[in-house]
Structure 1
Amino acid sequence: MVTNPLDDAPLSRFHKKLAVFSSGGPFLDGFVLSIIGVAMIQIADQWGLSSVEQGLVGASSLIGILLGAFAGGWLTDRFGREVLFTVDLIAIAAFSVAQFFVQDVIWLIVLRLLIGMAVGADYPIATSLLTEFTPRKYRGPFLGAFVAMWFVGAAAAYVVGQILAETGNDNAWRWMLASATVPAVLIVVARVGTPESPRWLVGKGRIDEANKVLRKVFGPGVSVADLPVEDENSVSVKELVRSGYGKRMAFITLFWTCSIVPLFAVYAFAPAILSALKLEEDAAHIGSAVITILFLVGCIIALFLVNRMGRRPLLIHSFLWAGLALLLMGVFPEAPTSIIMVFFAAYAVLIGGTQILQWVYPNELFPTEIRGTAVGMASSLSRIGAAVGTFLVPLSLSGLGIGATMLIAAVITLLGAVLSHFWAPETRGLSLTESASLGVASSPVSPARASQS
Structure 2
Amino acid sequence: MAASSGVAATERLTSFHLRVTATTFGANFSDGYALGVIGAVLPVLNTTLHLSGVWQGLLGASALIGLFFGSILLGPVADTIGRQKVYRYNFVLIAIASVAQFWAHSPLVLFLLRLVIGFGLGADYAVGSTLLSEFAPRRLRGVLLGSLTVLWTVGYVLANVLGTYIPITDNAAHWLLASGALPALLVLVLRIGIPESPSWLAARGRATEAAEIRRRYLGQSEVTAEEARAAAAEQPPTARYRELFARGQAAKTWFGVIFYSAQVLPYFAIYTFMSQILGTLHISDADTQNLVLNLALLLGGVIGLWPVQRVGRRPFTIGSFAILTTCLSAMAVFSGSSGWVLMVPFLVYTFVMAGASNITQVYPPELFPTALRASGVGFLNGTSRVASAIGTFVLPVSLSQLGVGWSMGWMALVLLLGTAVSLIWAPETRDTLTTEEWHH
TM-score (normalised: structure 1): 0.81
* Alpha carbons of structure 1 residues 95 and 281: separation in structure 2 relative to 1, 3 Å: farther
Match of 1:441 in 2: none
* Alpha carbons of structure 1 residues 393 and 432: separation in structure 2 relative to 1, 3 Å: same
Structure 1 position 270 matched with structure 2 position 270: no
Q: CA deviation at 1:413?
A: 1.7
TM-score (normalised: structure 2): 0.83
Contact 2:122-2:381 within 8 A present in 1 as well: no
Q: What is the correspondence of 1:34-73 to structure 2 with a 5 Å cutoff?
A: 34-73=36-75
Query: Residues 286-323 of structure 1, C-alpha deviation per residue, up to 9 Å, x if partnerless?
Result: 2442242144146335326623xx724x4333222212
Contact 2:150-2:298 within 8 A present in 1 as well: no
Match of 1:347 in 2: 349
Of the three residues 286, 296, 307, the one matched with 2:291 is: 286
- Secondary structure of the residue aligned to 1:63 is helix
- Secondary structure of the residue aligned to 2:62 is helix
In 2, Cα distance between the equivalents of 1:245 and 1:85? Answer: 26
* Alpha carbons of structure 1 residues 366 and 183: separation in structure 2 relative to 1, 3 Å: closer
Contact 1:38-1:269 within 8 A present in 2 as well: no
Match of 2:99 in 1: 97
Q: CA deviation at 1:329?
A: 2.4
Question: More displaced, 140-149 or 381-390?
Answer: 140-149
Match of 2:428 in 1: 427
Q: CA deviation at 1:275?
A: 2.7
* Alpha carbons of structure 1 residues 204 and 239: separation in structure 2 relative to 1, 3 Å: closer
Match of 1:450 in 2: none
- Secondary structure of the residue aligned to 2:6 is coil
Of the three residues 299, 307, 310, the one matched with 1:302 is: 307
Structure scoring higher RCO (CA < 8 A, sep ≥ 6) equals 2
Q: What is the correspondence of 1:49-448 to structure 2 with a 5 Å cutoff?
A: 49-77=51-79, 79-164=81-166, 167-198=167-198, 213=213, 216-218=216-218, 221=221, 225=225, 228=228, 229-230=231-232, 231-243=235-247, 245-279=249-283, 280=285, 282-283=287-288, 285-297=290-302, 299-303=304-308, 306-307=311-312, 311-312=314-315, 314-333=316-335, 335-351=337-353, 354-359=356-361, 373-421=375-423, 423-425=424-426, 427=428, 432=432
In 2, Cα distance between the equivalents of 1:219 and 1:256? Answer: 35
Letter aligned with residue 258 of structure 2: L
Task: Name stretches of at least 5 consecutive residues in structure 2 with no aligned partner.
Answer: 434-440
Of the three residues 18, 21, 24, the one matched with 2:23 is: 21
In 2, Cα distance between the equivalents of 1:325 and 1:90? Answer: 40
- Secondary structure of the residue aligned to 1:160 is helix
Query: Residues 220-277 of structure 1, C-alpha deviation per residue, up to 9 Å, x if partnerless?
Result: 9567627623223554454443415544443332232221110111122222222332
In 1, Cα distance between the equivalents of 2:220 and 2:242? Answer: 45
Match of 1:2 in 2: 3
Q: CA deviation at 1:6?
A: 6.4
Q: CA deviation at 1:168?
A: 4.7
In 2, Cα distance between the equivalents of 1:199 and 1:250? Answer: 25
In 1, Cα distance between the equivalents of 2:136 and 2:404? Answer: 46
Q: CA deviation at 1:193?
A: 3.5
Letter aligned with residue 193 of structure 1: G
Aligned pairs, number: 426
Q: CA deviation at 1:118?
A: 0.6
Q: CA deviation at 1:104?
A: 0.9
Q: CA deviation at 1:50?
A: 1.5
Contact 2:253-2:367 within 8 A present in 1 as well: no
In 1, Cα distance between the equivalents of 2:184 and 2:21? Answer: 16
Query: Residues 304-345 of structure 1, C-alpha deviation per residue, up to 9 Å, x if partnerless?
Result: 6623xx724x43332222122212323444644543332222
* Alpha carbons of structure 1 residues 334 and 98: separation in structure 2 relative to 1, 3 Å: farther
RMSD of aligned C-alpha atoms? Answer: 3.4
Contact 2:80-2:238 within 8 A present in 1 as well: no
In 1, Cα distance between the equivalents of 2:246 and 2:195? Answer: 39
Contact 2:23-2:191 within 8 A present in 1 as well: yes
Query: Residues 80-123 of structure 1, C-alpha deviation per residue, up to 9 Å, x if partnerless?
Result: 44454332223212111111111211111111110001111123
* Alpha carbons of structure 1 residues 415 and 73: separation in structure 2 relative to 1, 3 Å: closer
